[in-house]
Copies of this chain bind each other. A is one copy, B any other.
């Protein structure tokens, strides 16, 4: 835990606006990662080459959408402006989304989907494990529930990484290409900004630098056992991150599709 900001000095002037805003941002990041990735994975439903795997990926998608619902609902409650999880999911614009860019990338082939999923799943396990001990009891409860699912997800995606990497020449080549293409999106997962610093200082969020080392070790262990390779270091992040609303073109298309029904019938209760 070295390197993080020190515990804030006690003050007789509390800053109530600052803490809730950072918490809302932080919850949106957790929710949006899962909402967007859940939607991406659901695009596989009924399109995979193997029924069983189709069902497995769709189950992961549903878990992620369920987690997104919980995180976004809490974000709406903390925000206190009357937006529920549906308003947050269906009536925000691209620039208001706080997901990392990794999760919004188009599915590509099955190997690409699996590599992206594995990188995210390991991130989810280490982050949710830390958050299950968060000083915010509601967040800790959601994290603990989600962690159980994430542990199953990473076992699934990790086994596929091993199978594809150590499989046929084509499967090996395809998933290696996927990791090569995805690697530059991974630094964003651990790039701490003022929101993360505020969460760490408040005892709500984890020390991302410490988690990144754990993540890196877990990822490399599986990738090497799969006879695949990764660059030694992650590249620096170029420009603004998805955490601040900077997204690839792909997110706009995804949201257009995801939001069309709700926006066509605003306020519809049926």
User: Please, how many angstroms separate the alpha-carbon atoms of A229 and B61 in the complex?
Assistant: 38
Contacts of A43 in B (CB 8 A): 46
Copies of this subunit: 2
Q: Which residue of B has the minimal Cβ distance to A160?
A: B270
- A262 and B54 CA atoms in complex are apart in Å by 11
- Asked whether any CB of chain B lies closer than 8 Å to the CB of A85, the reply is yes
CB nearest neighbor in B for A266: B49
In the assembled complex, which residues on chain B have CB atoms less than 8 Å from the CB atom of A168? 269-270
Q: Which one, A12-20, A63-71, A122-130, A234-242, is touching chain B?
A: A63-71
Interface residues in A, total, Cβ within 8 A: 45
Q: Please provide the chain A residues from 3 to 61 with a CB less than 8 Å away from any CB of chain B in the complex.
A: 38-39, 42-43, 45-52, 54-55, 58-59, 61
**Residues in chain A within 8 A of chain B (CB atoms):** 38-39, 42-43, 45-52, 54-55, 58-59, 61-62, 65-66, 68-69, 72, 85-86, 89-90, 110-111, 163-164, 167-168, 170-171, 174, 257-258, 260-262, 265, 268-270
